């Protein structure tokens, strides 16, 4: 029997995971990646002894990671040295007052009651709701592959409406638990990870603050890129071949089949099956023949983007926690500026990551490595955006916010700065509109409504990653890979079903 072969376009987390699943089932797998190393947007770089994660900086949803590593025949905790980050966040408000999010219930009680008397009981009820949302959503929505409309629209799923509150905006739902606007903000800001404003995100997403507080925020020793290192190691053990600095120019199709890919160098690679881990809208617009689908995807809602500053600093700031989030009191205006305009708010909420607090090897001794991230609107070619001016305002916003913590000399101690703009995300990772989380997660872009893991015409072309089901994020990228491979097996790739042990 001929050994089946597949080409994986893109060595992001979803692509590497799909490659490993298939290789363990006896497939011959080649991964082609436009950049010089694996990881996709879960990337990193090192400069003058300072190590930067350029993508995600928080390791969340550890139970999902455990299950997906196990599906690859590996133990997460043997592959990665994880440490729990508690407190998970230090929240700082406009007047300098702070709220520390922690698993310590006594500390949470004291802090919440100081802001709003009686709010701790609301917090406990909110976490209970988040627990329900997490387990229902993971079992019935995230880990499910909705291949037909009837698998999604049925009486069993209809019963989820009261339990998951998908039709109730997340921020409005907070009124059931808190009165103070700062507490409502403290437990809804995670919606920006989905590319959404909490004023339109479904209340279902209370599952995110729940999993952070209940299951923990973690950090791999050596940085978040260690996830990529671990997955690439599993792939190579399984026999996966990687070709780097090899950009795909187009997917070759014939009738209702994809036949292979042509690289920018002109080289052609044939395959029985193709799995695209490149940004799904990019694949439709640039790699496939035009059939109207690319135009329809372009009209969908895209997530926001970010301006990310990577600073090597010649002194340490030990008082700055690993994850500090500055939340603006004009919370609604912040999200409306980012999601609707799209632009940079006048007083933006922003995030500063100090990995040296967790891993001293992230900087030379006595120095610091800092990452400042400011959410902004995605690229809007129709209206034009002055990214130089927006970048400068974002930088000053970070300096201004850090000054409320007594850090007033950062600019004088910068050794160097590297900055990623939405333009950078588009150029480096082929992200449409520079949207760092792909298609956003509105109700009409979730579940069966989200682009599926298999092309509707070219039935041997599959998709994994942020803009396909189930959605954005490193752990969900691994889920999307597993779901796509299940489709491949069901479509006739199951002649070699048993994974290697």
Task: Give the pLDDT confidence score for residue 497 in this predicted structure.
Answer: 44
Sign of dihedral through CA atoms 88, 197, 200, 450? Answer: negative
Q: What's the pLDDT at 355?
A: 98
pLDDT of residue 433: 94
**Total-model pTM:** 0.95
Cα 239 from Cα 242, distance rounded (Å): 10
Instruction: Please give the average pLDDT of every successive group of 10 residues along the chain, which has 501 residues.
Output: 92 98 97 98 98 97 98 98 97 97 97 98 98 95 91 84 92 97 96 87 95 97 98 98 98 97 98 97 97 94 95 97 97 86 86 98 98 94 87 97 97 98 97 94 91 96 96 96 97 56 45
What 62-71 contacts at long range (C-beta under 8 Å, 24+ apart), as own/partner pairs, is: 62/215, 62/216, 62/218, 63/211, 63/215, 64/138, 64/475, 64/476, 64/478, 64/479, 65/474, 65/475, 65/478, 68/17, 68/475, 68/478, 68/479, 68/482, 69/230, 71/21, 71/482
Q: What is residue 1's predicted lDDT score, i.e. its pLDDT?
A: 67
212 Cβ contact list (under 8 Å, min separation 6): 58, 60, 88, 101, 190
Q: Cβ of 294: how many Cβ atoms within 10 Å?
A: 18
DSSP structure class, residue 141: I
User: Distance from first CA to last CA of the chain, Å, rounded?
Assistant: 21
């Amino acid at each position: 029997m001929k050994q089946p072969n597949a080409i994986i376009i893109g060595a992001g987390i979803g692509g590497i995971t799909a490659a490993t699943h298939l290789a363990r089932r006896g497939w011959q797998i080649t991964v082609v990646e436009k950049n010089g190393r694996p990881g996709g947007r879960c990337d990193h770089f090192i400069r003058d002894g300072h190590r930067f994660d350029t993508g995600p900086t928080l390791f969340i949803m550890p139970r999902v990671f455990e299950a997906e590593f196990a599906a690859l025949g590996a133990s997460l905790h043997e592959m990665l040295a994880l440490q729990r980050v508690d407190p998970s966040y230090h929240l700082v408000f406009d007047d300098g007052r702070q709220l520390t999010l922690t698993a310590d219930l006594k500390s949470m009680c004291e802090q919440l009651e100081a802001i709003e008397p009686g709010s701790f009981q609301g917090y406990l009820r909110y976490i209970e709701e988040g627990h329900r949302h997490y387990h229902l959503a993971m079992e019935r929505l995230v880990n499910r592959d909705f291949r037909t409309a009837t698998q999604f629209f049925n009486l069993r799923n209809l019963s989820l409406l009261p339990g998951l509150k998908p039709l109730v905006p997340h921020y409005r739902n907070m009124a059931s638990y808190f009165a103070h606007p700062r507490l409502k903000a403290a437990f809804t800001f995670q919606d920006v990870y989905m590319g959404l404003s909490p004023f339109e995100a479904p209340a279902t997403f209370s599952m995110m603050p729940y999993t952070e507080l209940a299951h923990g925020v973690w950090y791999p020793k050596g940085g978040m890129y260690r996830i990529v290192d671990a997955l690439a190691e599993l792939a190579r053990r399984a026999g996966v071949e990687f070709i780097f600095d090899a950009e795909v120019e187009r997917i070759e199709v014939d009738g209702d089949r994809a036949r292979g890919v042509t690289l920018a160098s002109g080289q052609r690679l044939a395959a029985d099956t193709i799995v695209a881990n490149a940004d799904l809208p990019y694949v439709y617009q640039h790699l496939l023949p035009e059939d109207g689908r690319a135009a329809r995807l372009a009209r969908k809602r895209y997530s926001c983007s970010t301006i990310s500053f990577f600073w090597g600093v010649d002194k340490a700031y030990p008082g700055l926690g690993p994850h500090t989030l500055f939340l603006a009191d004009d919370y609604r205006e912040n999200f409306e500026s980012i999601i609707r305009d799209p632009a940079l708010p006048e007083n933006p909420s922003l995030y500063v990551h100090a990995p040296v607090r967790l891993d001293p090897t992230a900087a030379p001794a006595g120095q610091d490595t800092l990452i400042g991230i400011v959410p902004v609107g995605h690229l809007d070619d129709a209206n034009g955006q002055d990214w130089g001016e927006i970048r400068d305002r974002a930088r000053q916003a970070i300096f201004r916010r850090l000054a409320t913590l007594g850090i007033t000399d950062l600019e004088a101690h910068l050794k160097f700065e590297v900055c990623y703009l939405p333009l950078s995300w588009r150029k480096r990772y082929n992200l449409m509109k520079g949207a760092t989380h792909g298609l956003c997660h509105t109700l009409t872009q979730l579940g069966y409504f989200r682009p599926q893991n298999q092309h509707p015409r070219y039935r041997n072309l599959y998709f994994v990653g942020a803009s396909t089901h189930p959605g954005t994020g490193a752990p969900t990228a691994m889920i999307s890979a597993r779901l796509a491979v299940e489709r491949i097996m069901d479509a006739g790739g199951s002649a070699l079903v048993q994974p290697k042990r």
